[in-house]
Amino acid sequence: MAEVELDLLITHANIATMQGPAGPRRGHEMQDIGLLEDAVVGVQAGHIAYVGSAREAAAAGVTARETVDAGGRLLTPGLVDPHTHLVHAGSREHELAKKLAGVPYLQILAEGGGILSTVRSTRAASEDELLAQAKRSALRMLLCGTTTVEAKSGYGLDRDTELRQLRVAKRLGSELPMDVVSTFLGPHAIPPEYKADPDAFIDLMITLLPEVKSEQLAEFADIFCETGVFTVEQSRRFLQAANHHGLGLKIHADEIEPLGGAELAAELHAVSADHLLQASKDGLRALADAGTVTVLLPGTSWNLRTSEHADARFLIDEVAAPVALATDYNPGSCPTESLQLIMALAANQLRMTPEEILTAATRNAAYAVGRGDVVGSIEVGKQADFCLFEATNPAYLVYHFGINHIHSVWKRGQLVVQRGQLVEPLAAEAYR
């Protein structure tokens, strides 16, 4: 180590390394953030080459071409947002008054609004228009510390638009300093033209799977398993077909009514089961036994003003499930790009501790998108994705809520946010 001059050293940092044996953390393990005080991280060729205390680093003679003094601030892995509907056109503030008047989410959808309203705007948008809108959102995420993001399709509900959304997600990942994990969510709602025959729509979505797979347009498949949308039987059929074509499985499960989506996710060994507000205790236990990551979305329950929230304490304390957190960023149920806001809501509404929250938004979120071996912790060999916060400890991040605590962000060792601002040319892209 002594002879090698690294590219970058970040010194005097309180590092939440999240290091440990492979796999997501469960139960009380989620409390362990592997904190190293007054520590140093070294980067070489975009990857982590050294992590240790200041004393160890000095003794080992670690040097680098560039050194950044973190001034005692908290350094964490880059945040991972494992559930978003990043690629879409338009917005839905025109539905706010209805929502505030108490019209339920599924009723707005049944009346042809909600998801279907965004489907109309997305079908009408070109690939470049979709890319421009998604880019602005992705850069907002990066500014708030998200360096890996999952992005779902699901606002096309037809062949061309679904594939267009997936191509946009792929371009995002190649044009921005972010990892974009793409998910095919063709069965997100029943389009008007298939209202009388949702099974035929599932058939159509299944016919897209070979193309999605062979063109490497998605790593995962997902479905909205919900009353009035897709049944458990339809979900099983679609997800089994997706599995057969080599896609990992995700599911929007038991969000609004208890339908048995959690049990289905466990049965199919889904990589993640998301939402879970209404899931049965047996369903949650089955998910823990199956090793499925439970992705909780407290921004959605807060924004939809549901009185219930996912039972994070049961998941962590009783069944030791791996819990992750995500924004669910979408134009309807949760229009925010800020995972930091979600982290604050997880404290207040899900009663998660700051350490559990940090684990859920880094290491466990990485496993929820199949990237646990490359991102989500600060360990030698992993990608050099870091957030430096204007804070010294994780409790401060969730206690002082509603603002962006980011000081700096690095993606694969490259500085992308500096003193709370996107660096050029990213800033120019975000604020054209």
Query: Which of 19, 121, 137, 333 is the binder for ligand NIG (CB under 6 A)?
Result: 333
* Other Cβ atoms within 10 Å of 270 Cβ, number: 27
Of these partners, Fe ion, ligand NIG, none, which one is at the site of residue 333 (CB under 5 to 8 Å by kind)?
A: ligand NIG
> Is residue 332 near ligand NIG by the rule CB under 6 A?
yes
> Is residue 300 near ligand NIG by the rule CB under 6 A?
yes
> Is residue 162 near ligand NIG by the rule CB under 6 A?
no
Query: Which of 115, 125, 142, 279 is the binder for ligand NIG (CB under 6 A)?
Result: 115
> Is residue 118 near ligand NIG by the rule CB under 6 A?
yes
Which two tokens mark 254?
A: 């038991």
Between helix 339-350 and helix 354-361 the angle, nearest 10°, is 140
**SS3 of residue 289 by DSSP:** helix
Residues binding Fe ion: number (CB under 5 A)? 1
Of these partners, Fe ion, ligand NIG, none, which one is at the site of residue 336 (CB under 5 to 8 Å by kind)?
A: none
Stretch that binds ligand NIG, among 122-130, 198-206, 325-333, 418-426 (CB under 6 A): 325-333
Chain-centre distance of CA 359, in angstroms?
13
**Residue with Cβ nearer Fe ion (328 or 337):** 328
Rounded to 5°, angle at Cα 260 from 257 and 265 = 125
> Is residue 252 near ligand NIG by the rule CB under 6 A?
yes
246 sits in the region (left: phi over 0; alpha: psi -120 to 50; else beta) called: left
**Residue with Cβ nearer Fe ion (329 or 367):** 329
Residues 198-237 that bind ligand NIG (CB under 6 A): 224
Name all contacts of 237-243 with Cβ < 8 Å and 24+ positions apart. Answer: 237/202, 237/206, 238/187, 238/202, 238/205, 238/206, 239/264, 239/268, 239/270, 240/268, 241/206, 241/209, 242/184, 242/209, 243/268
Question: In the stretch 254-283, what mask flags binding to Fe ion with x, by CB under 5 A?
Answer: ------------------------------
Cα separations in angstroms, 365 against 146, 414, 432: 11, 22, 31
Nearest approach, Cβ of residue 220 and ligand NIG (Å): 14
Nearest approach, Cβ of residue 170 and ligand NIG (Å): 21
Query: Which of 191, 331, 354, 394 is the binder for ligand NIG (CB under 6 A)?
Result: 331
> Is residue 250 near ligand NIG by the rule CB under 6 A?
no
Query: Which of 254, 311, 328, 355 is the binder for Fe ion (CB under 5 A)?
Result: 328
Per DSSP, the residues of 375-421 read: SSS--TTSB--EEEESSSSHHHHHHS-SS--EEEEEETTEEEEETTE
Stretch that binds ligand NIG, among 26-34, 68-76, 110-118, 390-398 (CB under 6 A): 110-118
**190 close to 235: Cβ distance less than 8 angstroms:** no
Q: How many helices (H) and strands (E) does the chain have?
A: 17, 18
**Residue with Cβ nearer ligand NIG (57 or 293):** 293
Nearest approach, Cβ of residue 153 and ligand NIG (Å): 12
Return the residue nearest ligand NIG (CB atom).
332
* Pairing mode of beta strands 35-44, 47-53: antiparallel
Nearest approach, Cβ of residue 329 and Fe ion (Å): 9
Stretch that binds Fe ion, among 56-64, 205-213, 325-333, 402-410 (CB under 5 A): 325-333
Nearest approach, Cβ of residue 83 and Fe ion (Å): 6
**11 close to 40: Cβ distance less than 8 angstroms:** yes
**426 close to 142: Cβ distance less than 8 angstroms:** yes
Ramachandran angles phi, psi of 69, nearest 5°: -90, 115
> What count of Cα atoms within 13 Å lies in the side-chain half-sphere of residue 369?
31
Which two tokens mark 204?
A: 């159509």
**Residue with Cβ nearer Fe ion (254 or 328):** 328
Residues 60-99 that bind ligand NIG (CB under 6 A): 85
**SS3 of residue 237 by DSSP:** helix
Nearest approach, Cβ of residue 22 and Fe ion (Å): 27
Binding region for ligand NIG (CB under 6 A): 85, 114-115, 118, 224, 252, 255, 300, 328, 330-333
Binding region for Fe ion (CB under 5 A): 328
